[in-house]
Amino acid sequence: DVKVTQSSRYLVKRTGEKVFLECVQDMDHENMFWYRQDPGLGLRLIYFSYDVKMKEKGDIPEGYSVSREKKERFSLILESASTNQTSMYLCASNGGPGGGELFFGEGSRLTVL
Amino acid sequence: QKEVEQDPGPLSVPEGAIVSLNCTYSNSAFQYFMWYRQYSRKGPELLMYTYSSGNKEDGRFTAQVDKSSKYISLFIRDSQPSDSATYLCAMRKNSGGYQKVTFGIGTKLQVIP
């Protein structure tokens, strides 16, 4: 059974803290993605990676960075969390340049106070 | 104007009803069309995946694409309370290399027993 695992389901952080969100997939997929999901705005792409150590900006990369040191792991980093980064963060993966089906994790609900 | 427009609802129907969910899009380059289902506090999961115009059926679900009108639909027959979820349309282009998936904001559906 295919799986994308996000390490933290719920986090509460304070403004200015550094936040790490980790995602692991067990499908040997080349492509991995970080989205945020907000009411009325839907899913918005933050960053994606199509290979180890490669990264590409999505639609809303400001305030975020990513790391992909191993094929199966893709981390999202908030260097200095702000209240407007309170959101649901979803990791996804798929295989090959055409992409195909996106497999999502269960999400990480981040609250920044 | 957003590339993909989707009514957020909520849509409330009695059990057994036929449900129609719709999205419009503005970019004629979109070639692949998808519907994802997202249960509360879970990540989205792929429900239907179609390429080009026409209908595709899978059990109680039918996906319809009308490229001339830039309009896609998902029909659910004999709706069940377990169909209560948010339904996201998604689409991508097909012009080589990695292609980003663009999502609608999702329609929240509630099926009343």
Strands A108-112 and A19-25: unpaired
Q: Note whether B45 contacts A104, CB cutoff 8 Å.
A: yes
Residues A92/A99, Cβ–Cβ less than 8 Å: no
Q: Is the pLDDT of residue A1 over 90?
A: no
* Predicted pLDDT of residue B2: 81
| Confidence category of residue A98, pLDDT binned at 50, 70, 90 | low
Chain A residues with CB inside 8 Å of B106's CB? 42
Residues B102/B90, Cβ–Cβ less than 8 Å: yes
- Report residue B82: phi and psi, to 5°: -70, -10
> In chain B, which residues have pLDDT < 70?
94-98
- Report residue B78: phi and psi, to 5°: 45, 55
* Predicted pLDDT of residue A97: 60
Q: What average pLDDT does range A1-30 have in this prediction?
A: 93
* HSE (side-chain half, CA atoms, 13 Å) at A22: 8
Is A78 an 8 Å CB contact of chain B? no
* Predicted pLDDT of residue B48: 92
Q: Note whether A45 contacts B96, CB cutoff 8 Å.
A: no
Residues A90/A79, Cβ–Cβ less than 8 Å: no
| Confidence category of residue A96, pLDDT binned at 50, 70, 90 | low
* Predicted pLDDT of residue B29: 87
Residues B56/B66, Cβ–Cβ less than 8 Å: no
The predicted-structure confidence for A48-89, as pLDDT tens digits, reads as follows 998 898 899 999 999 999 999 999 999 999 999 999 999 999
Is A32 an 8 Å CB contact of chain B? no
Residues A90/A43, Cβ–Cβ less than 8 Å: yes
Spatial separation of the C-alpha atoms in residues B90 and B109, rounded to whole Å: 17
CA distance B98 to chain A (A): 5
CA distance A14 to chain B (A): 23
* Predicted pLDDT of residue A5: 96
* Predicted pLDDT of residue A6: 96
How many interface pairs between A and B have CB atoms less than 8 angstroms apart?
50
